Amino acid sequence: MLDNTEACSIWLATHILPHEGHIRAWLRRYGDIEADDIIHEAYVVMAQADHAAVANPRAYFASVCRNLVMQHYRRARVVPVTSLALMQADSVADATPSVERVVHARQEMRFLEKTIARLPARCRDIFILRRARGLSQKECAAQLNISENVVEKQLARALVFLSNAYSDSDREMTVDEERRPRLAHSRKRQP
Amino acid sequence: MRRDARVSPTLANASPDEAAAGWTARLDKGPLSAGEQQALQHWLEQDIRHKGAFLRAKAIWHASGRLAALQGPTAPAVAHPATLPALPRRRFFAAAAAAVALLAVPKRQGKANSLYTTANALSAPLSTAFGTITLDCYSKLKMGLESSRLVSGRCCVLGRTGMIMKAGELIFAPQGRLLLSCTPSQVVATAVSGTVRLRLHHTNDWWTLRAGAQITQNGTQAPEMRSLMPEELDAQNAWSLGQLEVHDESMASIASTFNRYNQRQVHVSPALASHRLTGVFTLTRPEEFAATARTILGAKLAETPQTLSLY
């Protein structure tokens, strides 16, 4: 599974990651489960899937999580009645995305930019040099006159920061009707 | 969940997400040693959630690579102080200030140092021997024989070798396009293109800002440097191209920006004030903005030669 990470990571990055905030918001309603654990297990299940056959990745992600929550309850000795009732009544998470809750690629790009803008200055500079400008870790270190170990640690730090941001990305990743950018198509650029 | 100091080459006592980030950054650095490979394998097999965290970290790493799509193959944005030879002194600085043609003629005062001020309009580019300076609205520029100083407001400098700009305690030698803004407590400089060398007054340490980098100095504190994202850079540079770029901004805020740049004032009714728009407008054409608000928001428009009222 982990040998084929390139194509798999791209698929997860493109089709799953943007929906994570929404799925986590749904998982948070179940007070007695650890959302992180469910999400991590879901990534393992989804990495093994036949990606070409997944027509609606968001619904697929939601149903994988729902099954894992069910498994969790089956294993648990005591299951709160409220959680079971919620589980049976709940169909929100795997509903087809409505027009109001579509993640736009542009919206995700803005989310990334905003998140990176919040990184501490040095961490941000290193991350931008490496990921946006394509310098190797060695080149980043030479450019900033710091050791390669510092570059590696700061990149890891940026990744953790992004990871937390994706976990809480429900609000930023979705565009409701009133806030949807309306004039993006009419942007004029100076030649 | 068990925590293990060996989970990552970089992070001790790490959570699965932290350890996964550490391994992802380590793998990006280069091939793993046999020992590291074993440690990674051991960590992955310890718990299925470790595998999930690792897959997720790699997905986030890939997602962040999309930033490169916006970024041209430019030089790195930040360079740290390097001592450079002093700039050549130019004795003959053309008295170009006298020859400028202005769209909105800035008021000029004094002789040796010409003081230019703008009201509610951009200036046309003011020519100097070493480039041009465009003043934003409500800004003040002192143009001397050897250097110019932004006293307050904003300006855009298109400079070549020999151009010296000052703002607050900072001295700039731009070779390319530089945006400067200056208030009594803060100076912000952004290199839009080319390179900008700069130093603090009374020091001889030169810094280099490359395209996309921004330096901020608050009061007497040490300057802070950061890299801007391409979209941020576009938005900050828009005014100097005569454009107003807004992202999800309220009608009230957009109207107030138009009103700073134009005689003809836009009034927005309270009912419309909190509606939000995204788009690019021409700074000097509030009519275009009013027409857009009519089309998009269904607003009504009442026009007089001096005002545009949206309600």
Beta strand B126-128 with B131-135 is antiparallel
CATH of A105-173, one of 2.40.40.20, 3.40.30.10, 3.40.718.10, 1.10.10.10: 1.10.10.10
Ranking A3-17, A98-112, B11-25, B264-278 by mean pLDDT, the lowest is: A98-112
The residue among B63, B27, B59 whose CA lies nearest residue B43 is: B27
Q: What is the pLDDT of residues A61-91, one digit of tens each?
A: 988 888 888 888 777 666 566 666 666 555 5
Q: Give me chain B's average pLDDT, please.
A: 78
A125 touches chain B (CB under 8 A): yes
Are the CB atoms for A23 and A65 separated by under 8 Å? yes
Q: How far is B68 from chain A (nearest CA, A)?
A: 4
Interface test with B, best of A23, A115, A163 (most B CBs within 10 A): A163
Helix (H, G, I), strand (E, B) or coil at B193: strand
Written as one string, the DSSP assignment of A119-180 is S-HHHHHHHIIIIIS---HHHHHHHHT--HHHHHHHHHHHHHHHHHHHHT-HHHH---TTTS
Are the CB atoms for B82 and B217 separated by under 8 Å? no
Name every chain A residue with its beta carbon within 8 A of the beta carbon of B55: 2, 5, 8-9, 12, 43-44, 47
* Angle between helices A148-167 and B16-29 in degrees, nearest 10: 140
Q: What are phi and psi of B251, to 5 degrees?
A: -60, -40
| Element spanning B61, H or E | helix B48-64
A112 touches chain B (CB under 8 A): yes
Does B238 score more than 80 pLDDT?
yes
Q: How far is A78 from chain B (nearest CA, A)?
A: 20
Interface of B with A in 234-293 (CB under 8 A): 241, 243, 247-248, 276-280, 282, 292
CATH of B80-234, one of 3.40.50.1820, 1.10.510.10, 1.10.40.50, 2.60.120.1440: 2.60.120.1440
Question: Who has greater pLDDT, B94 or A187?
Answer: A187
A178 touches chain B (CB under 8 A): yes
> B225 and A156: CB-CB below 8 Å?
no
Considering the segment(s) B242-310 as one domain, its CATH architecture is: 3-Layer(bab) Sandwich (3.55)
Q: What is the pLDDT of residues B118-164, one digit of tens each?
A: 887 778 788 777 888 998 888 999 887 678 999 999 999 998 877 89
> A110 and B231: CB-CB below 8 Å?
yes
Predicted pLDDT at A171: 64
Write out the residue limits of the CATH 2.60.120.1440 domain(s) in chain B.
Answer: 80-234
Name every chain B residue with its beta carbon within 8 A of the beta carbon of A17: 56, 59-60, 63
Domain ranges of chain A: 2-97, 105-173
Written as one string, the DSSP assignment of B149-171 is EEEEEEEEEEE-TT--EEETTEE
CA dihedral B193, B199, B201, B202 (to 10 degrees): -160
Write out the residue limits of the CATH 3.55.50.30 domain(s) in chain B.
Answer: 242-310
Predicted pLDDT at B296: 78
> B248 and A179: CB-CB below 8 Å?
yes
- End-to-end, the C-alpha distance of chain A in Å comes to 47
Residue in B10, B229, B278 closest to A153 by CB: B10
> B232 and A117: CB-CB below 8 Å?
yes
Name every chain A residue with its beta carbon within 8 A of the beta carbon of B248: 179, 181
Tokens of B206: 């030169």
Predicted pLDDT at B282: 84
Does B103 score more than 50 pLDDT?
no
Q: What is the pLDDT of residues B166-221, one digit of tens each?
A: 999 899 999 999 999 999 899 999 999 999 999 888 888 888 888 889 999 988 78
Question: Tokens 């009645």 correspond to what residue?
Answer: A81
Instruction: Give me the mean pLDDT over the B24-28 stretch.
Output: 94
Name every chain A residue with its beta carbon within 8 A of the beta carbon of B80: 144-145
CA-based R_g, chain A, Å = 20
d(CA A64, CA A76): 18
The residue among B308, B223, B221 whose CA lies nearest residue B272 is: B308
Predicted pLDDT at A148: 94
Predicted pLDDT at B93: 34
Please, what's the b/e burial string for A94-128 (b: 16 or more CB within 10 A of its CB; e: otherwise)? beeeeeebebeeebbbbbbbebbeebeebbbbbbb
d(CA B247, CA B235): 9
CA dihedral B79, B80, B83, B84 (to 10 degrees): 20
Split at pLDDT 50, 70, 90, the class of B92 is: very low
A166 touches chain B (CB under 8 A): yes
d(CA A149, CA A134): 18
Q: Encode chain A (191 residues) as per-residue pLDDT tens digits.
A: 444 678 888 889 988 998 898 889 888 887 778 899 999 999 999 998 888 888 888 888 988 888 888 888 777 666 566 666 666 555 544 444 444 445 566 677 778 888 888 888 889 889 988 987 788 999 999 988 899 999 999 999 999 999 999 988 776 665 443 344 444 344 444 44
